[in-house]
Amino acid sequence: MNMKILVLLAMTSLILLSCFSAGCVEQTASQTDVLADVISSLHETLTTTADEAAFASRYYAADPTPENGRQALATLYQRTTLTHDLLIADENGIVRAVYPNNIISALGQNLSSYPPNKEIFAGTDVYVSEYMVLENGMEAYLLSVPIKISDKYAGYISLSFDPYRLFGPEEQKVFEKGYNLWVMQMNGVQVFDADVSEAGADLLTDPDYAMIREMAELVAANPSGETKYVYTADIGTDVVEKTAVWDTLSFGETDWRVVLTSVPATS
């Protein structure tokens, strides 16, 4: 091999090394790395929402009137992407302000028999409820932050959010990378799936999901992990093998198992 060829090979190796270092050659992220990005993004969204709610709480505390409360809620509604309905309840659980007007019937209601309350906020600055069906029929979570006046508990601000507003944007991102996303509570209830008809299904007890019950039990019992399982294809009747990687999103005293699945390429 002559000197020119050796020099050319050396230069090519140097260029490729530099290119990889600079990121000009696209490197496919692993399923685990993609999931880690999803968890990070979700946590950032929830943190931003909670921070905005805390700001609204301080704004209201400076002038705790129904008029100022409605203004605080209206501003919070505009500044967050998750928010559906909002309310302010006082230290006795009585609703003092709402936004928007579609829940105006809640004004004056006593919510003291429902969380959150003073005891809950003694240990946390943000609380996320269980997945629930609201009076308007919406399936949602409630994210709440305390209101403090002169450092004393004076109630809370709650905002309801549809899990599809939280998890939906992440599903779009991972789908473009060849994955699917679904989310389950610790009790086995699936709160998000690209197929909306599957939201709310109990993967641990529903006989329609018997094929994946063992996998769902594994996910529920372990904060993170990886497994393979078989499932009927979304379209058709073929049974396919999927790889599932999952991790836990924890926020506001609530945990979700976030599951990323991929279908092996066919030969």
Q: DSSP letter for 195, please.
A: S
The SS3 assignment for 168 reads helix
Q: Does domain 164-262 have CATH number 3.30.450.20?
A: yes
* Residue 96: C-alpha distances to residues 63, 79, 104, 196 (Å): 13, 21, 10, 34
How does pLDDT run across 74-96, given as a tens digit for each residue? 999 999 999 999 999 999 999 99
Q: Pick from 77, 57, 62, 45: which is nearest to 147 by CA?
A: 57
Residue 188: CB atoms within 10 A of its CB come to 19
Taking the C-alpha atoms of residue 93 and residue 87, their distance in angstroms, rounded to an integer, is 11
Q: Residue 223: which H helix or E strand, with range? A: none
Domain boundaries, the chain: 41-162, 164-262
Tens digits of residue pLDDT in 119-160? 999 989 999 998 888 766 778 999 999 999 999 999 999 999
SS (H, E, C) 39-74: HHHHHHHHHHHHHHHHHHHHHHHCCCCHHHHHHHHH
Opening angle at CA 124, ends 121 and 126, nearest 5: 90
pTM of the model: 0.84
Q: What is the pLDDT along the chain (267 residues), one digit of tens a residue?
A: 444 433 433 444 444 444 434 444 344 689 999 999 999 999 999 999 999 999 999 999 999 999 999 999 999 999 999 999 999 999 999 999 999 998 999 999 999 999 999 999 998 999 999 888 876 677 899 999 999 999 999 999 999 999 999 999 999 999 999 999 999 999 999 999 999 989 899 999 999 999 899 999 999 999 999 999 887 755 556 778 889 999 999 999 999 999 999 865 554
Contact between 61 and 149 (Cβ < 8 Å): yes
Asked if the domains 41-162 and 164-262 are classified in one and the same CATH topology, the answer is yes
- Give the strand pairing for 95-99 and 127-128: unpaired
The CATH code that applies to domain 41-162 is 3.30.450.20
In this structure, are residues 103 and 85 in contact, taking their beta carbons and an 8 Å threshold? yes
